[in-house]
């Protein structure tokens, strides 16, 4: 059996027939694909496997998993042992935006209307006025700490790139955290809402820096308000329409079976992303709202859909962060470490707390929640995606202007790494210090799942009694479940137990409950446990 390496290096020459023209083998350039494809497949498999394993480590450490994927991509890049050269910003931008849209769609599927009702007002203010305020304060810090930044307009551009929180990082961090009050809801909804403002500011400031000689009086006017309104309003409308039409289509197509059902939900997400982008609105906001609408409708095969989109979100996150890491050249990072670290600390301990704390004071949010929300806004993939925008704009200009804008990618990378690592590591101890922790969401050892093509008025869901549960007198009868909810069975030590009212619940018990589809939040509040399957 011929070896592909040998064929690639000796195409057209066979030791037994040196003068014979090859009949089946193409030339070297064509043959290289047969060598590269297995290697590429091997690398992708290793990356996905490592990503799955690293995610558990990141949860344990309390840092976003994406940060580890980002560093892994950097290590495999041109300065790493594999020396992979990758500098295609355009492809990275397109893939990363699509991946982020799929992550936000999954986040929307798991966001209840009750969460939106409790959080949308403060979250919307943080996602608009808050992003603008953080841009200004961060820009001031960049101007102070980075002497290589020659104009204040460039420092504001960097501030806009760094101003928004990252949905993937926030979803990942909060997946294992239960917080008191509205802190969790506000952080989740803010991360789903704040991308349009950041994108509008980055495009406007890029236009100012590149085409108007960094004159803030030019290219940055009231038209920005109109663009932002278009992004928010039209993106919201597209998301609502896509969600309503999509959920109706899901009802219509339920006869196709559980296997094909998630294919349709993926198609809905991609069509929403694409259509919103074509007409110039916020594709990220649109796909998040579409996910919220679909996730709050009574649809068939819900558990299958949620499980598939959870997997897609993880693959998207690994792909997105890894590609962004490949773009980074580690040898360029040392000169930006001091300025990047100072800027990250400035954002974490001054810019975001100052702006967010001020805005949340209008809603009479308790000071403990205010502090935690101010501190837990993590940077992630979004700032690095935004950093590609000015680079792509400059690449289209034949005679590039003499600005320092092209050097900001490495600087942004340093800020993102530090700005994810430090707050991510400190959220747990700070929430504990503020008495804001309501327990940790533990991974289940047993899950029950109901796959049904019919529209059911009730749902089956498994809830885990936390290992920290110490109330030895709490029984099934004392759960105070809402009307229509009942315990089907209790799984303990690998066995199903007969449910009796006087059965005492123990740590790590799994409660299989049936409840009306609209009553999930009431069930969670009555149990004070976190759901582990749906």
Q: Which domains can be identified in the chain, with CATH numbers?
A: 4-61 (no CATH), 89-439 (1.20.1530.20), 458-533 (3.30.70.1450)
Average pLDDT over residues 336-351: 90
What percent of the chain has pLDDT above 70? 77
Q: Torsion-angle region of residue 499: left (phi > 0), alpha (psi -120 to 50) or beta?
A: beta
- Say if residue 288's pLDDT is above 90: yes
* Predicted TM-score (pTM) of this structure: 0.79
Looking at residue 15, its pLDDT comes to 43
- Say if residue 136's pLDDT is above 90: yes
Average pLDDT over residues 287-306: 87
Q: Strands 177-179 and 437-440, how do they pair?
A: antiparallel
User: Residue 451: helix, strand or coil by DSSP?
Assistant: coil
For 148, 386, 464, 466, the CA distances from 471, given in Å and listed in that order, are 59, 49, 14, 11
Looking at residue 252, its pLDDT comes to 77
What lies within 8 Å, CB to CB, of 432 at 6+ separation is none
Average pLDDT over residues 200-229: 72
For 114, 480, 484, the CA distances from 386, given in Å and listed in that order, are 31, 48, 48
d(CA 414, CA 85): 20
Distance of CA 374 to the CA centre of its chain: 19
| pLDDT band (50, 70, 90) for residue 17 | very low
Question: Residue 402 burial by CB count (10 A; 0-12/13-18/19+): exposed, middle or buried?
Answer: exposed
Looking at residue 140, its pLDDT comes to 92
Q: What is the DSSP letter of 255?
A: G
d(CA 482, CA 518): 11
- Say if residue 27's pLDDT is above 50: no
User: Residue 317: helix, strand or coil by DSSP?
Assistant: helix
The most confident of the ranges 15-29, 38-52, 91-105, 181-195 is 91-105
| pLDDT band (50, 70, 90) for residue 166 | confident
Nearest to 186 by CA among 170, 162, 199: 170
Neighbour-count burial for 377-390, b at 16+ CB within 10 Å, e otherwise = bbbbbbbbbbbbbb
d(CA 248, CA 439): 38
Starting at the earlier edge strand, list the strands of the sheet with 531-533.
495-497, 486-492, 510-516, 458-464, 531-533
Instruction: Report the number of secondary-structure helices (H) and strands (E) in the chain.
Output: 20, 7
């Amino acid at each position: 059996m011929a070896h592909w390496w040998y064929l690639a290096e000796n195409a057209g020459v066979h030791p037994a027939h040196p003068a014979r023209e090859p009949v089946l083998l193409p030339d070297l350039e064509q043959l290289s694909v047969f060598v590269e494809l297995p290697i590429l497949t091997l690398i992708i498999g290793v990356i996905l496997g490592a990503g799955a394993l690293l995610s558990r480590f990141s949860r344990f450490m309390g840092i976003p998993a994406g940060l580890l994927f980002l560093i892994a991509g950097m290590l495999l890049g041109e300065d790493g042992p594999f020396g992979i050269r990758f500098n295609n910003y355009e492809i990275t931008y397109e893939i990363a935006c699509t991946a982020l849209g799929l992550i936000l769609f999954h986040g929307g599927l798991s966001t209840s209307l009750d969460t939106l009702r409790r959080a949308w007002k403060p979250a919307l203010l943080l996602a608009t006025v808050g992003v603008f305020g953080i841009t200004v304060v961060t820009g001031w810090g960049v101007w102070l700490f980075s002497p290589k930044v020659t104009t204040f307009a460039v420092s504001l551009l960097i501030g806009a790139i760094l101003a928004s929180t990252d949905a993937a990082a926030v979803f990942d961090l909060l997946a294992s955290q239960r917080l008191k009050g509205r802190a969790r809801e506000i952080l989740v909804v803010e991360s789903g809402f704040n991308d349009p403002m950041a994108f509008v500011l980055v495009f406007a400031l890029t236009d100012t820096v590149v085409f108007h000689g960094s004159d803030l009086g030019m290219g940055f006017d009231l038209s920005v308000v109109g663009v932002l309104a278009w992004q928010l309003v039209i993106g919201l409308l597209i998301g609502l329409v896509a969600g309503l039409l999509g959920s109706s289509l899901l009802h219509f197509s339920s006869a196709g079976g559980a296997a094909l059902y998630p294919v349709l939900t993926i198609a809905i997400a991609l069509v929403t992303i694409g259509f919103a982008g074509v007409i110039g609105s916020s594709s990220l906001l649109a796909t998040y709202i579409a996910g919220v609408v679909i996730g709050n409708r009574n649809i068939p095969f819900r558990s299958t859909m949620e499980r598939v989109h959870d997997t897609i979100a993880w693959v998207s996150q690994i792909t997105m962060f890894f590609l962004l890491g490949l773009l980074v050249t580690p040898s360029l990072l040392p000169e930006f470490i001091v300025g990047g670290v100072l800027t990250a600390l400035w954002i974490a301990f001054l810019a975001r707390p100052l702006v967010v704390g001020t805005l949340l004071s209008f809603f009479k949010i308790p000071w403990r929640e205010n502090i935690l929300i101010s501190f837990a806004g993590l940077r992630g993939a979004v700032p690095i995606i935004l950093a590609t925008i000015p680079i792509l704009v400059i690449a289209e200009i034949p005679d590039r202007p003499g600005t320092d804008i092209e050097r900001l990618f490495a600087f942004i990378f340093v800020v993102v790494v530090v700005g994810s690592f430090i707050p991510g590591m400190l959220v747990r101890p700070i929430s504990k210090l503020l008495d804001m922790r309501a327990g940790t969401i533990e991974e289940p050892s047993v899950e029950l799942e109901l796959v049904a093509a019919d529209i059911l008025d009730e749902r089956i869901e498994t809830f885990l009694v936390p290992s920290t549960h110490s109330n030895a007198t709490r029984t099934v009868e004392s759960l105070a479940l809402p009307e229509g909810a009942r315990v089907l069975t209790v799984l303990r030590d690998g066995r199903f137990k007969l449910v009796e009212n006087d059965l005492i619940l123990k740590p790590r018990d799994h409660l299989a409950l049936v409840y009306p589809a609209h009553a999930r939040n009431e069930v969670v509040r009555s149990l004070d446990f976190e759901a582990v399957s749906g």
